[in-house]
Chain A
Amino acid sequence: MSPVLSLASVTFREVVRRKVQVNLLLFGAVLIVGSFLVSELTLGEMHRILSDLGLSAMQIIGTLIAVFVGATLVAGDVERRVLYPVIAKPVSRTQYLLGRYLGLAAALLVNLAVMAAVLSLVLVYEAGSLAPLDGALATAVAFQGVQFVVVGAVAILFSSLSSSTLAAIFTLAIAIAGQLTNEMRALWQGPATWVPQLLWYLLPNLGSLTANEAVIYRTPPPASAWLAALYGLLYAATALALASAAFERRDLR
């Protein structure tokens, strides 16, 4: 097994065992089931409340796991001095980062699959048929997967540059700001329009990686879905490349 895959495997097991991750995952499952109870409060159209609350709960929990677990992966290794024996072996820093990231991404996607399975069960139970399991739901879940790998890559970037706490704060800020870039660009009027444009390119456009509306209204997913997914994956790759460049030059003494 290559060093990258070995590190990814170790990271995956480590992440899955973390208490914060398990707690958040359980909380996510409870939120999804809870949204079923909340949807009982509405007048008609239960599906819209159930799917919207369920998908939002999945997104919030998945993002929090990506932020708090991702931010401590590299920085935690540096702070606990676990990193030194690893890089003393014939493993480059880039391989180390990549292995850590792939393990994190795998854990995030497994979490997502668990939450998506819970939501699907709840939706099918409410509808009394398999009708809710359509292309829109698959696209929405896939989009969330892309969002999580983007946030995970940003977390790894900050984690390779600073401490766990700062990395978590920066990543959370970026994850929130990334949801607002579309609004910001649309609403910023008047002078210095280059500011929102610059931020548009710098920040991850997470707002485009959502298909909740298609699930709510049971409409086909947006035609530009593949482009948004490709953008997300490219953004994650760029963040990792920057993380690698910075980490290679970092003085770890």
Chain B
Amino acid sequence: MGAARGTGRLSPFPTMPRALRLGLTLLLCGATALAAHALGASRERPYDLAILPRAAAMRWLSLGHETLAANLMWLRVVQYIGEPRAEQRGWEKLHPAVDLVTDLDPRHGYAYQVAGVILGSVSRVPESNAILEKGFAALPGRYSLAVLRAFNAFYYQDDWATAGRWAEAAARAPGAPAHLRQTVLAYYVKGNRADAAIAFLEEALRTAADPESKKAIEGQLKIARYEAAAATIDEALERYRAHRPLGPLWVERLVTDGYLPGLPRDPFGGRWEIGDDGRARSSAQRSRYRRPTRLELGPEPGLAR
């Protein structure tokens, strides 16, 4: 050993010729550089979630720390969402990943919310609906999840009646703001379910505790009844126009020609007339809810568009 130190022969290959040693070293350098290049190339792919374990397995592996496992998985989901090349990669893993996070920690309200919004905006509406419904079932107090579910229904699926049902669920949630009642009314009316809006508002009126709320609900109920009555006339107008080349100029013709047994009472106390849009309206309340067209709603926002 002492001799080796004296001659400087500390190499692990003491008998190997110098040129071979140099060649081997260069070869190792090259291989390392190649591996580094390959590693870099693999990192050039968009961030993806390669493996999504089952929730039951994760629960065991977390050694009783389900929230920790959920939070660590959530951090990966955030990277998945934040990937700038997500369009190139796709969004197939978002729903299963957030499903896993919320299986491990069912109270992770923000995960439902973020996933619901993003999945809807990238045309994965059934998945968005599923995660929002799961979230609202787990957290009935988080009314924003039901509001988002209602948004999906009318905005992506043109299903205003379902939107009304989810808005109603949101409005019934503890701590929900009072203005959601107006949303329920609007969605139900646009979904031709003014009857459901009336039922909801009548119940809200029965349970309202303060005079201010009662007054506001009475106003909304009046609109709902007005819309229900106007919808009855609209339906008769449609039948009339289907049978005759020219529509009636006055709504009273619907009664005289047998399309309606009688005109419904106008809750605003005016008289019924036919508006510029061909729908019935009251002379005392000319504005009515109108279902917007796809064009009026604007282009669907989307991360992948």
A42 touches B78 (CB 8 A): yes
* Interface positions of B from 42 to 73, Cβ below 8 Å from A: 56, 59-60, 63-65, 67-68, 71
A48 touches B60 (CB 8 A): no
Interface flag for B213 (CB, 8 Å): no
Question: Whole-angstrom distance from the CB of A180 to the nearest CB of chain B?
Answer: 6
The chain B residue sitting closest to A212, CB to CB, is B67
Partner of A183, one of B59, B67, B68: B59
Interface flag for B155 (CB, 8 Å): no
Contact A212 B65, CB 8 Å, known A49-B75, A183-B59: yes
Interface flag for B107 (CB, 8 Å): yes
> Complex Cα distance A41/B71, Å?
11
Interface flag for A115 (CB, 8 Å): no
The chain A residue sitting closest to B81, CB to CB, is A43
Set of chain A residues within 8 Å of B56, measured between Cβ atoms = 187
B64 touches A183 (CB 8 A): yes
Question: Whole-angstrom distance from the CB of A4 to the nearest CB of chain B?
Answer: 34
Question: Whole-angstrom distance from the CB of B258 to the nearest CB of chain A?
Answer: 61
Contact A216 B60, CB 8 Å, known A38-B75, A43-B81, A43-B114: no
A210 touches B75 (CB 8 A): no
Interface flag for B110 (CB, 8 Å): yes
A42 touches B75 (CB 8 A): yes
> Complex Cα distance A40/B110, Å?
16
Contact A56 B110, CB 8 Å, known A49-B75, A179-B63, A183-B59: no
Interface flag for B32 (CB, 8 Å): no
Interface flag for B232 (CB, 8 Å): no
Interface flag for B74 (CB, 8 Å): yes
Interface flag for B25 (CB, 8 Å): no
Q: B residues within 8 Å of A by Cβ?
A: 56, 59-60, 63-65, 67-68, 71, 74-75, 78-79, 81, 107-108, 110, 114
> Complex Cα distance A5/B107, Å?
47
Q: Is the interface of B mostly helix, strand, loop or mixed?
A: helix
Give per-residue flags for A211-238: 1 if the beta carbon is below 8 A from chain B beta carbons, else 0. 0110011000000000000000000000
A176 touches B78 (CB 8 A): no
Set of chain B residues within 8 Å of A216, measured between Cβ atoms = 67
A43 touches B68 (CB 8 A): no
> Complex Cα distance A245/B154, Å?
72
Set of chain A residues within 8 Å of B107, measured between Cβ atoms = 213, 217
A210 touches B64 (CB 8 A): yes
Question: Whole-angstrom distance from the CB of B114 to the nearest CB of chain A?
Answer: 6
15 contacting pairs across A/B (C-beta < 8 A): A41-B75, A42-B75, A43-B110, A48-B67, A48-B71, A53-B68, A56-B65, A176-B63, A180-B64, A183-B60, A206-B64, A210-B64, A212-B65, A213-B67, A213-B107
Interface flag for A207 (CB, 8 Å): yes
A41 touches B78 (CB 8 A): yes
The chain B residue sitting closest to A206, CB to CB, is B64
Interface flag for A45 (CB, 8 Å): yes
Interface flag for A191 (CB, 8 Å): no
Question: Whole-angstrom distance from the CB of B40 to the nearest CB of chain A?
Answer: 22
Give per-residue flags for A10-44: 1 if the beta carbon is below 8 A from chain B beta carbons, else 0. 00000000000000000000000000001001111
Contact A53 B71, CB 8 Å, known A43-B78, A43-B81, A183-B59: yes
Question: Whole-angstrom distance from the CB of A225 to the nearest CB of chain B?
Answer: 16
Contact A52 B71, CB 8 Å, known A42-B78, A44-B110, A183-B59: yes
Partner of A207, one of B64, B68, B78, B110: B64
Contact A179 B64, CB 8 Å, known A41-B79, A42-B78, A45-B110: yes
Contact A180 B60, CB 8 Å, known A42-B75, A43-B81: yes
Interface pairs A-B: 5 shortest CB-CB: A179-B64, A207-B64, A179-B63, A56-B68, A52-B71
Question: Whole-angstrom distance from the CB of B76 to the nearest CB of chain A?
Answer: 10
> Complex Cα distance A206/B64, Å?
9
Contact A42 B74, CB 8 Å, known A183-B59, A217-B107: yes
Give per-residue flags for A120-151: 1 if the beta carbon is below 8 A from chain B beta carbons, else 0. 00000000000000000000000000000000
> Complex Cα distance A41/B59, Å?
23
Set of chain B residues within 8 Å of A206, measured between Cβ atoms = 64
The chain A residue sitting closest to B60, CB to CB, is A183
Using A180-B63, A207-B64 as known contacts, list a sample of 16 further A-B pairs with CB atoms less than 8 Å apart, ordered by residue number in A. A38-B75, A42-B75, A48-B67, A48-B71, A48-B108, A49-B74, A176-B63, A179-B63, A179-B65, A180-B64, A183-B59, A183-B60, A183-B64, A187-B56, A210-B64, A212-B68
> Complex Cα distance A213/B104, Å?
12
Set of chain B residues within 8 Å of A182, measured between Cβ atoms = 64
A52 touches B68 (CB 8 A): yes
> Complex Cα distance A43/B110, Å?
9
Set of chain A residues within 8 Å of B60, measured between Cβ atoms = 180, 183
Set of chain A residues within 8 Å of B67, measured between Cβ atoms = 48, 52, 212-213, 216
Question: Whole-angstrom distance from the CB of A63 to the nearest CB of chain B?
Answer: 10
